[in-house]
A and B are shown apart, each in its own frame.
Chain A
Amino acid sequence: DIQMTQSPSSLSASVGDRVTITCRATQSISTYLNWYQQKPGKAPKLLVYAASTLQSGVPSRFSGSRSGTDFTLTISSLQPEDSATYYCQQSYGTPYTFGQGTKLEIK
């Protein structure tokens, strides 16, 4: 199985901050990497697919990038509604696997 390692596991930031979450795959997955946002008691919501393509309707402050097997989700200017847990997911091959999640809190 392809393992996905996310970092950090949690972070706290202020409104307006630039926030970066990283996900590393144990093997090459090309750009088959998706990012999801999950709020308490809700299903995950797709933010970014194919490593860097913003899902329709997602604010432009979210962006994704890739460098080899390292992937990054960036929030350019943190908003209060961005408080959530974020997951990466590899869609290169089954079994699909997710990162362990990054819990983002607003100071």
Chain B
Amino acid sequence: QVQLQESGPGLVKPSQTLSLTCTVSGGSISSGSYYWSWIRQPAGQGLEWIGRIYTSGSTNYNPSLKSRVTISVDTSKNQFSLKLISVSAADTAVYYCAREDDWRSRFEYWGQGTLVTVSS
């Protein structure tokens, strides 16, 4: 059974960089036809897709965040990562990592989520 687990600082100062890692277990991140995504959810609000990376390393980002986001993969550690630069309070949210299959683009597996607060 595939499992995903987010990790990273829970508090980031304004204008600094948010960095999160998602560790995948129960399967190789580089096998199969999957996209690995980041999704976030501000408290009491809906879900926002941030972007994804394919097993080949190609990426797609939400245009609303594209200038500030980088998603990368480390196949040796079975992890993928999110970097969001120049953060503000508007970036405070629960951040989820998720696996998307490239057949029907469904988010079948999710991490438990990690709260990141942007505050000085």
Contacts and interface: CB of A to CB of B under 8 A. Distances in A.
A64 interface: no
Given A43-B96, A43-B112, A43-B113, A91 B106 contact: yes
Nearest to B48: A98
Contacts of B60: 94-95
A32 B105 contact: yes
A36 B104 CA distance: 14
A49 B62 contact: no
By secondary structure, the A interface counts as loop
Contacts of A42: 112-113
Interface string B81-114: 0000000000000001010100011111011110
B28 to A, nearest CB: 22
Chain B interface extent, by class? 20 to 34
A46 B107 contact: yes
B47 to A, nearest CB: 4
A97 interface: yes
B106 A46 contact: yes
Nearest to A56: B108
Contacts of A53: 104
B46 interface: yes
Contact of B46 (A49, A55, A91, A101): A101
B46 A36 contact: no
A49 B49 contact: no
B31 to A, nearest CB: 20
Nearest to A31: B104
Contact of B108 (A1, A50, A55, A96): A55
A99 B106 CA distance: 15
Contacts of A1: 63
Given A36-B107, A43-B98, 8 more contacts: A43-B113, A45-B110, A53-B104, A89-B107, A94-B52, A95-B61, A95-B63, A95-B64
8 contacts: A32-B104, A34-B106, A44-B110, A49-B106, A50-B106, A87-B46, A94-B49, A98-B49
Interface of B: 46-49, 52, 60-64, 96, 98, 100, 104-108, 110-113
